[in-house]
Amino acid sequence: MTGKKRIRYEQISYFWTEMFDLHIDCVGDFSVLPTRIDLHGTHAKKKFVARYYQGEKLRAILLCQQTPRDVEAARKELRHALGR
């Protein structure tokens, strides 16, 4: 638009929400339909991490009731997986 060389958008999408008694952090692209979801933790205890894959490629991570340190680690993991 400015006539300058295009710069690729490198940010990893992130948002958080609180619903009832849950704090949920979402990192990555949830618009892509996953072919596999790996769940670590306990859904019944409402403390877990879900990793969303398309094929073998990690696309997004959902964290429920996790610490800010865990969220930052997830962001780094996804950035590394996407090669950014």
pTM: 0.85
State pLDDT tens for residues 20-37.
Answer: 999 999 999 999 899 999
How far apart (Å, rounded) are the C-alpha atoms in residues 46 and 57?
26
Residue type, 5: K
State the pLDDT at residue 83: 87
Q: Is the pLDDT of residue 1 over 60?
A: no
Q: Identify the CATH assignment for 15-81 out of 3.40.50.2300, 3.50.50.60, 3.20.20.70, 3.30.390.30.
A: 3.30.390.30
Under a CB-based contact definition with an 8 Å cutoff, are residues 51 and 37 in contact?
A: yes
Q: Confidence class of residue 50 from pLDDT cuts 50, 70 and 90?
A: very high
What percentage of the chain has pLDDT greater than the value 70? 89
